[in-house]
Amino acid sequence: MSEPVSVTVAGFEVRWELDKGLNLWAGIPTLSMWIPSTAAGLMLGMQRMVGTERFCLLLMSGGIDSVSDDWNVISSQPTFEEGMLAMSPIASAAGWGTWEVVRCDRTARALTMRSHHSWEGIYQKQLGVCWGSSMLAGKFTGLAQRLFGVPCWSEQTKFSARGDDCDEFEIHPTDRTVGDRLQQLIDEGKATTADLTSALAQLQREVGDRQKAESELREALTQLRTQEETLNKIDAPIIQVWDGVLTVPLMGFLDSERAVRLMQRLLDEIVRARARYAILDLTGIELVDTHTAEHLIRIIRAAELLGARAVITGIHSAVAQTMVGIGVDLSRIHTLRNLQDGLKACMRWLEQERLHKD
């Protein structure tokens, strides 16, 4: 078990508790990272996500919000300038560079600050970019707001990332806060990579949902076609329910192909069974059109040519109206209410034929 290691830097205890994986400054957990690699990669990823303008404003906002402890150190001294002298070695030890007050005009509420060798300039040099030391600017802005008691804004005038000997900032009062400037970017429609990525993700989800719906619809249509084809291919059964009596329960739609196939089977069965009666039961057909009616008439006429009387049962009122409306003469066709009535009638007619022969 490793013993904690500690040193005193700029008046603070810096402590490493290796077994716990902790680095503590004045008892507060801190994070150390390589500026040219880890820190540079972190900042580059953020900039790519939100765009340079919003990236800088967000870092500046974070800097403003992070000065409470800094101000405690500064305000413990008689003057702001003396407080900054006390704060500079602490900032330097933490990687923020050495801080310098160039000008502090309390009457004009103007502050000029410099930082030498700040981590933001180092990582930007490594990346070959110059976005400005925005978080450092935010810290100086936050300190100026504490000093002057009004919202402030920072303009960077020197950039170590492009070869200047320091990062320099002019801080002055402003009517527009960081939040105001962020909102302006949004109002101007300056979309960031994150905005575009979010929009693209939403579009991809919508396209995916639409593709899924289309796929489900195509599958449903395929199943419907398959069921329809299966139904059309299923020939109506021809059942011999009594000596000389056949029944044909019809369902679905009677198209030309199915009608021809049914007619041939019915005629063959009439001959084989020497049937005297063929009952076409339409209970399973709720609607007919001109072609369906014509097919039925052809089947009835063909059965009669072979000496079998065709009987239609189970006609729905709508079907009957349609058949009359399209000119089918039902007076020449034996129609009964249901299959039971049709069977009774056929048995009665058979009995009459038998008695007539006797």
All domains of the chain in start order, with CATH = 1-32 (no CATH), 34-196 (3.30.1380), 239-357 (3.30.750.24)
* β 110-116/167-173 pair status: antiparallel
Q: Three-class SS of residue 102? A: strand
The pTM is what? 0.54
Four-point Cα dihedral 312, 313, 318, 324, nearest 10? 30
C-alpha torsion sign, points 273, 275, 311, 296: positive
The token pair at 91 is 């900032």
**What is d(CA 315, CA 254) in angstroms, rounded to the nearest whole number?**
15
* Residues in the chain, total: 358
- Given this model, what pLDDT does residue 137 score? 95
Residue 44 to residues 37, 52, 56, 159, 309, Cα–Cα distance (Å): 10, 10, 12, 18, 92
Helices (H), the chain: 40-50, 52-64, 68-75, 80-93, 119-127, 134-148, 178-187, 193-233, 256-273, 290-305, 317-325, 339-357
- Given this model, what pLDDT does residue 321 score? 78
- Given this model, what pLDDT does residue 217 score? 76
Q: Consecutive 10-residue runs of the chain (358 residues): their mean pLDDT?
A: 80 83 84 87 86 88 91 94 92 91 95 95 94 95 95 95 95 88 68 56 68 78 70 71 89 75 89 92 79 81 90 84 73 84 90 81
- Given this model, what pLDDT does residue 79 score? 94
